[in-house]
Amino acid sequence: MISASSLAPARPGRPRSERARLAILEAGADLLLEGGLAAATIEGIAARAGVSKVTIYKWWPSRGAVAVDSFFHRYRQTISFEETGDLAHDLTVQILAVINDFRGRAGEVMAELIGQAQSDPDLAGTLRTRWLDPRRQASTALVRRSIDRGEIAPDVDIQVFLDQIYAPLYFRLTMRHQPLDDSLAQILVHTVLDGVRS
């Protein structure tokens, strides 16, 4: 097969077992949801997946790495969203989606992953690359188009602007000092767009 050889270099040796890869990710996701990050030990995942520990270490550098991959394997989320031309509305819709995710089991796991990332640079990198960056890029583009439309000032620091809208969600997720209500969405957007001065 021409396509096969051109796409895959056809390396010598036994090819990686897709069966093992999937079993690991499924087992990882299961444990993550059942008992949180603490339950997702390499040993536990290996046992549940019917796989040897070495096979996991072969393909993932750390416990955190398997965890994130397992998490994203299960929560294959979409970032795409329709753009109506009204920045306030588009942002609100997106924030509502994030709030909704964060309120469920996935939110708890995400919080633990962020937590673990504080002492696992590997995991931190993966989290940025696979979770934050894609969302940032989409949001940045959204804001940029809004600027082009003249909705908001052109000299706005987009990154700070986005932080002021999204950071509170992560802050409440991790510190739990205030609830993650749906009503948050509108207030967050409204405040940064219009300010609070009387």
Task: Using CB under 8 A, list all residues that contact a copy of itself.
Answer: 36-38, 111-112, 114-119, 124, 127-128, 132-133, 136, 150-154, 156-157, 159-161, 163-168, 170-172, 174-178, 184, 187-188, 191-198
Asked if residue 13 binds DNA (CB under 7 A), the reply is yes
**Are the C-beta atoms of 135 and 79 separated by less than 8 Å?**
yes
For 144, phi and psi rounded to 5 degrees?
-60, -40
CA-nearest of 107, 109, 93, 110 to 179 is 107
User: 18-35 vs 105-117: helix axis angle to the nearest 10?
Assistant: 100
**Are the C-beta atoms of 192 and 153 separated by less than 8 Å?**
no
Q: Quick one: what does residue 141 bind among a copy of itself, DNA, none, with the CB cut-off 5 to 8 Å set by partner type? A: none
Class of residue 143 by CB neighbours under 10 A (exposed 0-12, middle 13-18, buried 19+): buried
Contact range with DNA by CB under 7 A, out of 59-67, 90-98, 101-109, 174-182: 59-67
CA distance 198 to 194: 11
Q: Quick one: what does residue 154 bind among DNA, a copy of itself, none, with the CB cut-off 5 to 8 Å set by partner type? A: a copy of itself
**For DNA, which is the closer residue by CB, 35 or 104?**
35
Contact range with DNA by CB under 7 A, out of 12-20, 97-105, 130-138, 154-162: 12-20
**For a copy of itself, which is the closer residue by CB, 15 or 150?**
150
